Amino acid sequence: MSAAKGDTKGCPRCNCCFIVPPVVLREHSRDATLDRRIRTKLQDTYLEVTRLKLLREASRVAALNEQPQSMLGAPGAVQPQQQVFDCQHRQSLPGIPIAAPASAADAAIKTTYTVTARVDDFYRQVLGRNSIDNRGIDIASSVHYRMNFDNAFWNGQQMVYGDGDGQLFSEFYKSPDVIGHELTHGVTQYESGLSYEGESGALNESISDVFGAVFNQWVNNWAVTETKGWLIGAGIMGQRALANGKTCLRDMLEPAADHCLSAQPASYEHFDPTADVHINSGIPNRAFAALAQAAGGNAWDRALKVWYAVCTGGDLHSNATFVDFAQLTIAKSEELYEREFASFARQAWTSVQLPI
């Protein structure tokens, strides 16, 4: 299917997506109980995120140009290469290339390389997908971005990780679900091209949370009953956040819980059309978790495959609403599995008060 005019589906440079929402950075940069140095780092990160967001529209124009062929794999390519770069606390990307990241002494470099390779294994073994673009594209990651940068992001071409401020956030490479989350933004970019605003933007963020969380469950062989498998960003919480009872950035089972640094609505009746896409994503997050738990076993066995089939099947348009996505998942559940599973999917969406 050819992309409609103005549609960025499949374009190599169209979105810059972050794990920590700007509203959280701004809110905590004004928290007088935090050390002034930490507040300054949070404000610096907020300003940088804002700058990168403002570049998004320019990226849409740039996306009309083809990505350099050296970065593209052919259909059926056997093994994409993992590339890691060191920004050395500077802003320039991608940074200094690392010749042997798998054996690097720097934990950020080694872990980023290893976990990124595991995400690629997950895509291939669980979903039958060949890298981010399904054509074997090489996966580039940059670590040590800026000084104490409080975020990780996919910029349309590669992954970028900050080291955190040491109090509210620790190093962003430490949470496998964060790496899986951000890489899945690349998958969405090459598949449905969901826009990054409104309900479609919240779906974009939710899909990354879903795949990031299930990747973490897969790596640890956790069943759907393991509650810590539904936490997003548990590994990036700093000492101050933990001391304040914040055990994660988001919780897919309990989006509105007090232990979330970035609480979200758990039902559609609390949907806020003015809120950041990271906030409203709690609604489809909760629906997926409800489906996976109703099905039992491992989330990657059936529930994730329904979501993946919808995300890659060609019927999910870039401006899809929650209802659009819900209806597609219900139909796909019945197509792939028995009618009972479709009933689980419908119940999952009604449990978050979505009118379907």
Q: Which residues are catalytic?
A: 182, 278
Q: Write b or e for each residue in 110-136: b if 16 or more Cβ atoms lie within 10 A of its Cβ, otherwise e.
A: bbbbbbbbbbbebbeebbebbbbbbbb
Q: What is the C-alpha to C-alpha distance for residues 65 and 39, in angstroms, rounded to an integer?
A: 39
Token pair 């209802």 in the structure block, residue: 323
Task: Give the three-class secondary structure for 139.
Answer: strand
Q: How many residues does the chain have?
A: 356
Q: Which of 42, 17, 15, 8 is nearest to 240 (CA)?
A: 42
Q: 10 Å Cβ neighbour count for 293?
A: 18
Q: What is the C-alpha to C-alpha distance for residues 255 and 257, in angstroms, rounded to an integer?
A: 6
Q: What is the C-alpha to C-alpha distance for residues 289 and 285, in angstroms, rounded to an integer?
A: 6
CB-based contacts of 139: which residues, under 8 Å, 6+ apart? 80, 81, 82, 83, 116, 120, 131, 132, 158, 159, 183
Q: What is the C-alpha to C-alpha distance for residues 284 and 203, in angstroms, rounded to an integer?
A: 7
Q: What is the C-alpha to C-alpha distance for residues 196 and 3, in angstroms, rounded to an integer?
A: 17
> How far is the first Cα of the chain from the last one, in angstroms, to the nearest whole number?
28
Two structure tokens written together for 154: 């996919």
Q: Write b or e for each residue in 250-285: b if 16 or more Cβ atoms lie within 10 A of its Cβ, otherwise e.
A: bbbbbbeeebbbbbbbbbbebbeeebbbbbbbbbbb
DSSP secondary structure of 87-103: -TT-S-SS-EEPS-GGG
Give the relative orientation of helices 198-220 and 322-336 as an angle to the nearest 10 degrees: 40
Two structure tokens written together for 131: 């890298």
